[in-house]
Amino acid sequence: GRQAETVLEIGFGMGASLAEQALHEPEKNFLGIEVHPPGVANLCALLAEQKISNVRVLQHDAVEVLRDMIAPTSLGRVQVYFPDPWPKLRHQKRRILQTAFVQVLVQKIQSGGLFHMATDWVPYAEEVLQLCAQQPELRNTGEGFCPRPDFRPETKFEKRGIGIGHDIRDILFTKK
């Protein structure tokens, strides 16, 4: 019932970066979706330990949640950080950020709201950049990839990617 901008994070992993964001942006509501039970439990523990009250957690499939449970134009920001890149060609159909999903996602973002994706898998980043550029309601906030915005904490997957020599790519689009 709290009236505030809502930030949706899809696939928050173990939840540390989502908890950190919620702590640093107490004026916003956060909704985290994750299917991995240990991640959900870990985030709930972090929220309780740090007495963070502006986060709600859903353990469910993000495609169904976005399609059936989120009202149109209700989200101020949607973030997908370091999603599984499914690098093998035969597995790429499992990637969450595909045309149909992004089209639904765009409907849920309010005018002026943001879509933010970060990954260390450059081919996936290039694919998502092109996919978002093809959405008439989205506008890239930069020219191609963007520098990491201040609101995005460094994640465990980001640190691991950097450690093995991967380049990090941030994609940031605003809804017209």
Q: Let me know the angle formed at the C-alpha of 174 by 58 and 110, rounded to the nearest 5 degrees.
A: 55
Rg, C-alpha atoms of the chain: 15
Pairing status of strand 138-140 against strand 169-175: antiparallel
Helix (H) or strand (E) holding 22: helix 16-24
Question: What residue type is 74 in one-letter code?
Answer: S
* Cβ–Cβ under 8 Å, residues 169 and 125: yes
- 150 is a catalytic site residue: no
Three-state secondary structure of 73-98 = CCEEEEEEECCCCCCCHHHHHHCCCC
Query: Helix (H, G, I), strand (E, B), or coil: what is residue 172?
Result: strand
Q: Which one from 61, 84, 150, 167 is the annotated catalytic residue?
A: 84
Name the residues annotated as catalytic. 84
